[in-house]
Amino acid sequence: MKKNFLKIAGFVGLMAVGMASCTKDLDRMPTNSITSEVTYKDVAGYKSVLAKVYGSYATPGNDGINQSDLAGLDPGQGDFLRLFWNAQELSTEEAHCVWNDPGIPDFHNLNWTSSNVLLAGLYNRSLYQITVANELIRESSDAKVAGRGISGKDAEDIKKYRVEARFLRAFQYWVLLDLFGNPPFVTENDPIGKYIPPQIKRADLFAYIEKELKEIEPEMIGARQNEYGRADKAAVDALLARLYLNAEVYLGAGKGRYADAVTYAKAAIDGGYTLHPTYKNLFLGDNNLNNPEVILSINYDGTKTQNNGGTTFLINAAINADMNPASFGVPNGGWGGNRATKNLPDLFTNVADKRAMFYGDDAEITNVADFKQGKKITKFRNVTTAGAVIPSPRGDGSSVDFPLFRLAEMYLIYAEGVKRGGTTGTEAQALVYLNNLRQRAYGNTSGNISSYDLQYVLDERGRELYWEGFRRTDLIRYDKFTSSTYLWPWKGGVKDGRGVEAYRKIYPIPSTDLTANPSLKQNDGY
């Protein structure tokens, strides 16, 4: 069982706010008997709330199996990672699901509407997590901390918690920026109560996130100096690099920030993280141990963070009973849902590339309801590096931590940023980084390259980062997500694939929130 502060059993009840299907009360106070003056009376109380801010990434609610922070959504589908992963992966060539649950086929068909329940779930999940962060930020101002008689090291620690909460809020605003573009906006400075938050434009939200991250970067604890699973300075640099890499998508053609992307990718690279020597070990149940590559992860424990989302979902949905679930560390698991279209395994043209972790011989999907068709992904396994199953009460839970940021992504951002004109780096250094990835993948220098282009970087991102929640964003940046210039099986609901409307590069504001918040305007096309 993993032991760190994120595995606190029974997160503080103060933050168990149930977000319904709207953001009308986005910053409302909790309505239970635990008051802020009780919760925040000492540094331990502040840390317990910080645990909830982080923990809300890993669980759908305080009881991950039966209860969700989001009203109207099955707890099994209500955690952040499962919702985010569906939107980022099922809408691309990297994943196709056989299930016909409400909302899922819309991703394959690229025909979602503002009534899609899973998109509404993700939207509300991000806003809920912003609400949780706002609460801690609001209560940890210098004035409030001093007013409670907290001083010295305890006060300094609370300042660190506040900076981390600001980072986690910025991350969730980046999620909304990337997927929904123009969400409602509220911070700790807005009134508490029946406050209807205004809508923020995509460009303005970009500017807010950029400013927020730059303000907290010098205040964040140094790279590799924080507890495992908590953000550090390298995480701030990594999010800035990701933000800048996609700036032209968010701000418009000709407004790229590629030099900044290279600069901040290099800052994260120089933070002291190094590549894990073995790629497959990045995605095992003991990946919290001796892992020098992951900058920030969502942490899971098969016992203390039980739920049907997260990496429990990633593992179980990718296998069935025919695949020997015990070998994946889930002897009672195997749900038979997700597999890849042929475009993903086709990226691996050299059998020596050890990152190709697939099961099955049939890459073609002619029947979308047949799980036996399509290559299965075996990347995530709830076993130790020695092959031992990590037990869980139900026999299908996962202790695999999910990487939100890892060094390999920073190498790839650096290389792409340079190739797109980022003058703060060099192609010679980019080749060093790319070949570092190749040498790990091949076990030697036989896969090294001497030059590269942008298509190579996109393909290498597919080989290195598949099923880690990047693909939709990547394809949009390369103008391959909606266009007919790049097709995959069942894109747009057609066997051979088809182009779809360009407005689908951004998801719709959920109809429920448009009804609840009259200040919101729907994204174009919906």
Compute the distance between CA of residue 107 and CA of residue 84 in angstroms, rounded to an integer. 12
Residue in the block written with tokens 């589908």: 77
Among 381, 410, 435, residue at a domain's last position: 381
The whole-number average pLDDT for the span 177-184 is 98
The answer to whether residue 15 scores a pLDDT higher than 80 is: no
Quick: pLDDT tens for 261-293.
999 999 999 999 999 999 999 999 999 999 999
Residue 525 lies in a domain: yes
Quote the strand ranges of 119-203, DSSP E. Answer: none
pLDDT of residue 70: 77
The whole-number average pLDDT for the span 124-131 is 96
Residue 277 lies in a domain: yes
For residues 183 and 245, membership in a common domain is answered with: no
Task: Give 30's pLDDT tier (boundaries 50, 70, 90).
Answer: very low
The answer to whether residue 14 scores a pLDDT higher than 90 is: no
Name every residue whose Cβ is closer than 8 Å to that of residue 347 and which is 6 or more positions away in sequence: 459, 462, 463
Residue 412 lies in a domain: yes
Quick: pLDDT tens for 360-371.
999 999 999 999
For residues 451 and 349, membership in a common domain is answered with: no
Compute the distance between CA of residue 487 and CA of residue 379 in angstroms, rounded to an integer. 24
Q: Which residue has the higher pLDDT, 191 or 317?
A: 317
Residue 388 lies in a domain: no
For residues 243 and 147, membership in a common domain is answered with: no
pLDDT of residue 414: 99
What are 349's two structure tokens?
Answer: 């043209």
The answer to whether residue 308 scores a pLDDT higher than 50 is: yes
Task: Give 10's pLDDT tier (boundaries 50, 70, 90).
Answer: very low
What are 125's two structure tokens?
Answer: 């999940």
For residues 186 and 233, membership in a common domain is answered with: no
Residue type, 95: A
Which CATH number covers residue 137?
1.25.40.390
For residues 287 and 316, membership in a common domain is answered with: no
The whole-number average pLDDT for the span 177-189 is 97
For residues 75 and 149, membership in a common domain is answered with: yes
Q: Is 197 helix (H, G, I), strand (E, B) or coil?
A: coil
pLDDT of residue 366: 97
Task: Give the up-direction half-sphere exposure of residue 267: CA atoms within 13 A in the CB hemisphere.
Answer: 22
The answer to whether residue 342 scores a pLDDT higher than 60 is: yes
Task: Give 63's pLDDT tier (boundaries 50, 70, 90).
Answer: low
What are 497's two structure tokens?
Answer: 């694939």
Task: Please state the φ and ψ torsions of residue 65, each to the nearest 5 degrees.
Answer: -85, -40
pLDDT of residue 4: 52
Task: Give 304's pLDDT tier (boundaries 50, 70, 90).
Answer: confident
The whole-number average pLDDT for the span 487-492 is 98
Name every residue whose Cβ is closer than 8 Å to that of residue 382 and which is 6 or more positions away in sequence: 284, 285, 302, 311, 315, 328, 329, 330, 389, 390, 392, 397, 398, 399, 400
For residues 375 and 236, membership in a common domain is answered with: no
Compute the distance between CA of residue 391 and CA of residue 325 in angstroms, rounded to an integer. 13
The alpha carbon of 430 is separated from its chain's Cα centroid by a whole number of angstroms, namely: 25
- E strand or H helix that includes residue 97: strand 96-97
For residues 236 and 339, membership in a common domain is answered with: no
Domain enclosing residue 324, as ranges: 309-381
For residues 128 and 163, membership in a common domain is answered with: yes
Residue 391 lies in a domain: no
pLDDT of residue 74: 81
For residues 160 and 256, membership in a common domain is answered with: no
Q: What is the mean pLDDT of the chain?
A: 92
pTM: 0.94
- E strand or H helix that includes residue 455: helix 454-465
Quick: pLDDT tens for 157-174.
999 999 999 999 999 999
pLDDT of residue 35: 66
Residue 484 lies in a domain: no
Residue 270 lies in a domain: yes
- The percent of residues above 90 in pLDDT, for the chain, comes to 87
- Total domains in the chain come to 3
The answer to whether residue 515 scores a pLDDT higher than 70 is: yes
Compute the distance between CA of residue 340 and CA of residue 365 in angstroms, rounded to an integer. 9
- Among 59-73, 416-430, 439-453, 493-507, whose mean pLDDT is lowest? 59-73
**Which residues does residue 96 pair with via DSSP β-bridges, in sequence order?**
339
Task: Give 20's pLDDT tier (boundaries 50, 70, 90).
Answer: very low
Task: Give 29's pLDDT tier (boundaries 50, 70, 90).
Answer: very low
Name every residue whose Cβ is closer than 8 Å to that of residue 294 and which is 6 or more positions away in sequence: 273, 276, 282, 287, 401, 403, 405, 406, 407
pLDDT of residue 151: 97
Question: In angstroms, how far is the first alpha carbon of the chain from the final one?
Answer: 46
Q: How far is CA 336 from CA 96, 330, 392, 471, 490, in A?
A: 11, 13, 20, 22, 19
For residues 13 and 137, membership in a common domain is answered with: yes
Residue 197 lies in a domain: yes
What are 521's two structure tokens?
Answer: 């305007």
Task: Give 34's pLDDT tier (boundaries 50, 70, 90).
Answer: low
Q: How many residues are listed for the chain in this entry?
A: 526
Among 381, 410, 441, residue at a domain's last position: 381
For residues 363 and 260, membership in a common domain is answered with: no
Residue type, 309: G
CB atoms within 10 A of CB 369: 9
